[in-house]
Amino acid sequence: MSMTTPDRITSAPLAGEFLPEIHALARRALLWAVLYGVFARASRGGCTALPDDRSVAVASGDPLCFSAAMGPAPLVWLVMALVFVIGIGRVLTFDDPRRIARVLSGIAWAMPIIVAVAFAAGCVWFFTASHADLAAGIVVPWVTVDIDVDPAG
């Protein structure tokens, strides 16, 4: 059998030259994901006035007491993963080092921004939501909220 060689040798993708930067970016993204998971937590409790039409009805008409615990939402981690994977996918198609560096820089900035916005929006919503909304279980997708509702008494 004879062995054939290609007429021209194709070069490796230019993204390979940026492998240390991509590796460092992956470590920083993982760090931001862990920090979000550790610090996106809060708890709050209280009692509502007499239940209104949006809250859980109690037959006796007594006020409702609740305990709510906010935690990190998997949606935020999914968004972070999508930004990373789509960004790296774009980098693999580029042959200009400036474009690669610009996309990697954008991903590096996006990770803490995603975490900061999700954390701030979650805290603002959690601490400004009315007792009736929390007792009724009205939540937003960027935080996970566990709510226990008990009739006062």
Q: What is the pLDDT of residues 70-128, one digit of tens each?
A: 889 899 999 999 999 999 999 888 888 899 899 999 999 999 999 999 999 988 888 88
Q: Residue 62: what pLDDT?
A: 65
The closest alpha carbon to 22, from 87, 74, 78, belongs to 87
| pLDDT mean over 7-13 | 47
Between 62 and 51, name the one with better pLDDT.
62
Q: Residue 49: what pLDDT?
A: 63
- What Rg do the C-alpha atoms of the chain give, in angstroms? 24
CA atoms within 13 A on the CB side of 13: 12
The closest alpha carbon to 64, from 80, 77, 52, 47, belongs to 47
- Predicted TM-score (pTM) of this structure: 0.75
Q: Check whether 55 has a pLDDT greater than 50.
A: no
